[in-house]
Every structure is written in structure tokens, then in C-alpha cells.
Amino acid sequence: APSGNDFHSILSAVVIALLQAAGYQRDCCCFWTQFCLSFSLSASEQRDKMAAPGEQRIAVPIDDPNADTEWNDILRKHGVIPEKPPSPTPMIDEAIVEGRRLAHENRLEGKDLDELDELEDLEDEGFLDQYRQKRMAELSNLQKKAVHGSVYPISKPDYQREVTEASNNGPVFVNLTSSMGTNVESRVLSELWRQAAKEYGDVKFCEIRATQAIENYPERNCPTILVYKNGDIAKQVVTLMTLGGVRTSMQKIDDMLVEAGAVSGSDMRVVKRRQAAEDAEEERLAGKSIKTGTAGRSRGDGDDDDWD
């Protein structure tokens, strides 16, 4: 009579043959082979397994648990492998559609009254009128809040009143300037300060010699920007190195104002300058592409001439 091991070996062979005849994949056959062979454990091993049933494991062959196969579907059904996560494609498509919708609805953001008038033949009159009313309300609000309009040159005795105490009513921006005329960055920031004060009349901009504000303040740290809020320094920028150096633009000042909460990120002054910068960059890249294509054709023409 065949032993227990021989019996299970024969049973395994029969099961594999039947499964293969039925068209099942090799992985499935291997699983049933291991399942059958698991019965051939010795009596002592069986007792050990019975003593610790939670430790029993059957090695199930899985090539790729994320693959869409009939075998993986069976394993998922019985909890052997986890369910596949939902495909991100529908969410991505939904986000794209929503982004396009918002872009269309906000296509007039940042345009002033003159630019809106130029779109009369292209846009719905009711939609344009809605934006006109919005712009007029924004302008009226800015005019009411524009109590500054220029840079305040201050001295040390004025500092407490004009900066520290004034910051309880809104952010105050201070430019610690160089006492030397050779400091190019200091001259650049002073010019940007004047432009910002003129555009943002609702924000207070102050300027003071660094050595007047802080005794023995290092020249190498000039210019330094201090942003005061609620009586304390909220931000400090030493030199213009992190803002672009001598190439620092008004857009960097805009970003600083938004970060400090002095103006909103949707403020038409901020949006208008940002869009202008994006348009300029697009034109630059388009011009670069045209030049590259022209240069490539020129080289190609030269190569053709060599074969004449």
C-alpha cells in the first residue's frame, strides 16, 4: 500500500493534471500543489500546527498583486491580497475640468476698466458689467484706504511712533538703507520702495539710515527690510540676495506684501503684474522657439548646399 507521502504525491499530480486540462494557469496549479503537499506533514508537525493555528501559512504564488488577472481576482475575493486602490484617472479628469471651468470664469481677473471696455465685442455685456462694478468697488475702496502714497523718511526718535505703534493698525515696511552711495542694492530697493508706496497707498512704507536705527549696523547687511505687525518684527530680509539682487522686481515686493497680509493675493494690482510677467515669459519662450527653429533650418539649408 502506498505511504501517506506517496498518496499525497499522487493526489498532487492528479490535481495538477486536472487543473491544467481545465485551462488553469500554472500559478493556480502550483498553489494547489502546495496545498496538497501541506497534508504530508509528519504527525508531530501536525500537532505543532494544531497547537498554534494562528501561525499556519500557505505560500500563495503572486507574480504581481496589482495585475488584472483571474487568479488575482480570486485572491482578492478571499482576502488573500488587498483590493486594488481606485484609479486616479477619474479624479484627474475631474480636476482638469474644474480647472478649466475656473479659468474661464476668472478670465477677466486683473483687468482694469479700460481693458474691460476693449472686450465689449467679445464678451457678454452682463458678464462684463459685473466685472466693471467689481473693479469700480475695488478702486473706491482703495481710494478710501490710500492714506499714505509715499515713503516716510524717519529718524530714530520717530521710530517707536511711526513704525512699532503704527504696526498695530496694519503691516509697516521699513527699509534700512546704506549710508554709502556705492551700495547698488540699497539704491535699487529705495526706488522700488517709492514705486510700491505710490501703487499701494493703503500700505505704510518707511525708510531710515541703518546706522541711525541700529548703532554700528554692518554696511554689508544693507539694505535690510523689516516687516512689523502688531508691534513686533514679523519678517526680516537682509540684503536683496534672496529676492534677486540688483534685478529684484516689483513682483517680489508684491509677494512680500501678500505674505505679510498687507494685500490680498487676488488684489488686482498683484494679479495684473503677475499676468504681465507670465505673458512676457510666454512671449520670450515663443521667440526663443522661433529663433531655434530658424537656426535649425538655416543649418539644414547649408548642409543641402554641400551636396549640390
Give backbone dihedrals phi and psi of 42, rounded to 5 degrees, phi first. Answer: -65, 165
Specify the pTM: 0.54
What pLDDT does 63 receive?
A: 66
The string of pLDDT tens digits covering residues 203-240 is: 999 999 999 999 999 999 999 999 999 999 999 999 99
What is the number of other CB atoms lying within 10 angstroms of the CB of residue 216? 6
* Residue 30 contacts residue 61 (beta carbons within 8 Å): yes
* Annotated domain spans of the chain: 4-77, 103-145, 152-263
What pLDDT does 203 receive?
A: 96
Which class does domain 152-263 fall in?
alpha beta
What pLDDT does 9 receive?
A: 58
User: Distance of CA 227 to CAs 164, 178, 194, 232, 239, Å?
Assistant: 10, 18, 16, 8, 14
Closest CA to 34 of 62, 66, 59, 68: 59
CA–CA separation, 57 vs 72, rounded Å? 18
The string of pLDDT tens digits covering residues 31-81 is: 555 555 554 444 445 545 544 544 455 565 666 777 778 777 877 887 777
Per DSSP, what are the bridge partners of residue 175? 207, 225
